[in-house]
Amino acid sequence: DEKEKFEPTVFRDTIVQGLNEAGNDLEAIAKFLDATGSRLDYRRYADTLFDILVAGSMLAPGGTRIDDNDKTKMTNHCVFFADEDHDAIRNYAQVGKG
């Protein structure tokens, strides 16, 4: 009975790369997340996925981002970087429901 490794940083890097490659197209982001969900264990990495979709990278206890300002470990395609209006935030929420 072999246990699977828990590698949230590998998960983060995969998700962030896909989000960044999708560009500013929320539909492309939703499609990427839907397609990736069949390969990656979203349940196992739910906290990491939530951190990325809301804050743009993994968060340490206390809420600081764990990315060392490395652009390959963070994305601007998240709620924190969305325009501050109701429609923009609602669009990001719709991506999460996918």
**Domain of 65?**
8-93
Quick check: is 12 in a domain?
A: yes
Q: Is the pLDDT of residue 5 over 90?
A: no
Quick check: is 55 in a domain?
A: yes
The larger pLDDT score, comparing residue 59 to residue 6, is at 59
Quick check: is 2 in a domain?
A: no
Number of domains forming the structure of the chain: 1
Quick check: is 43 in a domain?
A: yes
Residue 5 tokens, joined: 């490794």
Question: For 24, what's the count of Cα atoms within 13 Å in the CB-facing half-sphere?
Answer: 4
Quick check: is 19 in a domain?
A: yes
Quick check: is 1 in a domain?
A: no
78 three-class SS: coil
Across 67-83, average pLDDT: 88
Quick check: is 27 in a domain?
A: yes
